[in-house]
C-alpha cells in the first residue's frame, strides 16, 4: 500500500518534506486556498485540494497528517472546519504533526529554553499557538506530535534579497537573541518523527547557534561583498507592527531532543553554513 500524507496548509516546510517523501514513493495530498498555487502543487507531484473542502473521502485514505496552517482570531482553521472528521479518523491515523513556533515560550531575556519550559507567549500570535497546540493534543486517541519551529531559512526566505534591494535593517536591541532553522532540517526532523512516532511528544526545531539578528545581517552582507546597512536602535527603527513584534521575544532554544530521540544530525547547524548554502544555491540556479 502506498503511504499517503495529507498536508493541511501546504507551505514551505511541507513542500520540502514532500521532496523527501516522494523519493520514498509516498503520495502527498496538499490543501491550499489559491487556485494558482494548486496548479503549481500539481506540477510538483502533489494532489491539490482547494481549501475549505470536505475531507470525508480523503481521511480514510491516509495514515499521516501534517498541519501547517496558522491559527487566526477564531482559532485553528483546520479544527474549526474539519475537527470532528479528524477526531473520528484518529483510530486509523499513525502520525499527526502540528507545526507550531518557539514563540510559545515568550521572552526569556536571552536565556535558554527547552520543551519543558513554561509557556508564556508575549504576542497574540504566540497565545493563539499555545491554544492551538492544546486543542490538537486534547483530541482523544489522535497521535499528535508538536514541532516548535524557530525562524526559518530556505530558498527565497533569507536576508539576501532584502540586502540587494536596500531594504534590510540592522536593528540593535540589547540582549536580543533569536534561534533559527533551515527548512531542509525541518524536513528531516519531520521525516525522522514519521519513521519513529511518539504521540504526544513535543520537539523544538532549531539549529545550534542562536544569534542576535544584526550579526546575521552583517554576515549576509559580507557574503555578498556589500557594506551592512547602518545600525539603528530598536526604538528608532522604521518597522511594521508585525516586524516589531518579533523583537518582543529574546531567547536561546535548546534542540537536544531532536538529536537524542530522533537521531537527527543537522545539515546546517549554524547560520553561517545555512547562508553559505543558500547563496551557493542561488548562484547555481542563476548559472543554469
Give a three-class secondary structure readout of 7-68: EECCCHHHHHHHHHHHHCCCEEEEEECCHHHHHHHHHCCCEEEECCCCCCCCHHHCCEEEEC
Task: Report strand pairing: 144-149 vs 170-172.
Answer: unpaired
Chain position carrying cell 529574546: 250
Close Cβ partners of 241 (under 8 Å, ≥ 6 residues apart): none
Q: Answer whether residue 288 shows pLDDT above 60.
A: no
- Cβ distance 38 to 48 under 8 Å? yes
Q: So what's the pLDDT on residue 241? A: 87
Q: Residue 1 — very low, low, confident or very high, per pLDDT cuts 50/70/90?
A: low
Query: Can you say whether the dihedral through the CA atoms of 97, 100, 105, 111 is positive or negative?
Result: positive
Per-residue pLDDT reduced to its tens digit, 35-47: 999 999 999 999 9
pLDDT band at residue 236, thresholds of 50, 70 and 90? very high
Q: What pLDDT was estimated at residue 200?
A: 98
pLDDT at 205: 98
What does the pLDDT read at residue 88? Answer: 97
- The CATH fold of domain 4-153+181-208+253-269: Rossmann fold (3.40.50)
Stretch 17-36: mean pLDDT: 97
Residues 6+ apart with CB under 8 A from 44: 15, 18
Contact 136, 223 (CB under 8 A): no
For the chain, give every domain's residue range: 4-153+181-208+253-269
Q: Measure the CA–CA gap between 120 and 208, rounded to whole angstroms.
A: 23
- Contacts of 224 by beta carbon, 8 Å cutoff, 6+ apart: 160, 163, 164, 279
Q: What is the pLDDT of residue 229?
A: 94
The pLDDT of residue 287:
59
pTM across the whole model = 0.96
Amino acid at each position: 500500500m502506498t503511504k499517503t500524507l495529507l498536508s493541511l496548509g501546504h507551505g514551505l516546510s511541507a513542500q520540502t518534506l514532500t521532496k523527501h517523501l516522494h523519493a520514498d514513493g509516498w503520495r502527498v495530498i496538499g490543501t491550499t486556498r489559491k487556485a494558482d498555487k494548486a496548479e503549481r502543487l500539481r506540477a510538483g507531484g502533489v494532489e491539490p485540494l482547494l481549501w475549505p473542502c470536505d475531507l470525508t473521502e480523503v481521511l480514510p485514505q491516509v495514515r499521516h497528517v501534517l498541519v501547517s496552517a496558522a491559527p487566526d482570531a477564531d482559532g485553528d482553521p483546520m479544527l474549526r472546519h474539519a475537527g470532528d472528521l479528524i477526531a473520528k479518523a484518529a483510530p486509523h491515523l499513525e502520525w499527526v504533526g502540528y507545526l507550531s513556533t518557539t514563540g510559545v515560550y515568550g521572552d526569556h531575556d536571552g536565556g535558554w529554553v527547552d520543551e519543558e519550559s513554561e509557556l508564556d507567549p508575549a504576542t497574540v500570535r504566540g497565545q493563539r499557538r499555545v491554544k492551538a497546540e492544546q486543542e490538537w493534543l486534547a483530541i482523544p486517541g489522535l497521535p499528535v506530535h508538536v514541532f516548535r519551529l524557530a525562524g526559518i531559512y530556505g530558498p527565497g526566505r533569507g536576508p539576501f534579497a532584502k540586502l540587494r534591494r536596500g531594504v534590510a535593517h540592522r536593528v540593535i536591541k540589547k540582549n536580543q537573541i533569536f534561534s533559527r532553522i533551515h527548512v531542509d532540517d525541518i524536513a528531516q526532523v519531520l521525516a525522522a518523527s514519521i519513521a519513529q512516532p511518539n504521540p504526544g511528544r513535543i520537539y523544538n526545531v532549531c539549529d545550534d547557534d542562536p544569534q542576535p539578528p544584526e550579526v546575521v545581517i552583517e554576515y549576509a552582507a559580507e557574503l555578498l561583498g556589500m557594506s551592512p546597512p547602518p545600525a539603528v536602535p530598536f526604538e528608532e527603527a522604521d518597522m511594521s507592527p508585525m516586524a516589531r513584534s518579533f523583537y518582543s521575544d529574546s531567547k536561546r532554544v535548546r534542540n537536544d531532543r531532536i538529536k537524542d530521540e530522533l537521531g537527527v544530525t543537522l545539515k546546517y547547524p549554524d547560520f553561517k553554513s545555512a547562508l553559505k548554502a543558500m547563496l551557493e544555491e542561488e548562484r547555481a540556479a542563476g548559472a543554469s
